[in-house]
Amino acid sequence: MESLSNSGVLERTGVLGGSLSRDFADSTILSDHMHDMGQLKFALSGVMVVASTDGHWVVPPTRALWLAPKVRHRVRMLGKVQLRSVFVNPEYSHGLPTRSCLLPVTPLFRELIAAVATSSPSDARSRRTRLLMDLLLEEVSQDCGLPLHLPTPRDHRLATICTHIQEHLDDMKTLHEWAKDLGYDQRTLHRLFMSELGMSFVQWRQQAKLLTALEWLAEGRQVLSIALDLGYQTQSAFTAMFRRNLHMTPSEFLKAMAP
């Protein structure tokens, strides 16, 4: 059984709940929506910016995004995005991540998702497709949680700080200064960052800078301009941070996102 849903996703039975293979123009926005099934999103080229109820991701071609079932999200395309997406029926999700997360894209992973996402409807229940899906889901279950995720704070104290950081990325105010300005204990704020967001204040701020840098690079901004607007004194300091987190330079990132 198969049908074309309103979202253009070919819905199927079995472990493969649906698939989508489509090219999107730069700046295309997929409005706020959610799926009952888990979704694996990957771009052969271009960059996806995904905002959801549980965080914010920037997804270049070197990464794939696993979206847990029933997570409301919105997608913005940077550059020409060649999207390949696979949906997993809930009854086959045992052992898969229960939270949304980023995955590394190995050569094997890339070929698996490309093959499954572009398989014909008649192949959906074939032995070959089942084997490909089994191997793809094994890859998903192995390594989830790469550092291109910015968790969204719920506590009003953290929300005040994090919103300011995102609106003023060159602001270098310390957590001690924030605690003094807001009338809170610094240790209390530190514990809140660690317990609610899973990272320190300094780590969250750097993550916000990194994800914004990826968006700006994909939009064609110059590296030096990005570095200065993020509060770095030199381009080399920014490049060092970029390489330390992504194991590639900004120029290598741009090459990776090209068709």
Q: What domains can be seen in the chain, in order of their start residue?
A: 3-142 (2.60.120.280), 152-257 (1.10.10.60)
The predicted model gives 219-238 an average pLDDT of 95
Answer whether 201's CB lies under 8 Å from 189's CB.
Answer: yes
Q: Give the residue carrying structure tokens 């059984």.
A: 1
The predicted model gives 110-121 an average pLDDT of 86
pLDDT value, residue 219: 86
Q: What is the mean pLDDT of the chain?
A: 86
Mark out the alpha helices in 24-155 (DSSP H runs). 107-117, 127-142
Radius of gyration of the chain (CA): 20
The model's pTM: 0.74
pLDDT value, residue 2: 30
Name the more confident of 109 and 259: 109
Residue 11 has pLDDT above 70, yes or no: no
Answer whether 52's CB lies under 8 Å from 248's CB.
Answer: no
Q: Which residues contact 158 (CB under 8 A, 6 or more apart)?
A: 189, 192, 193, 196, 197
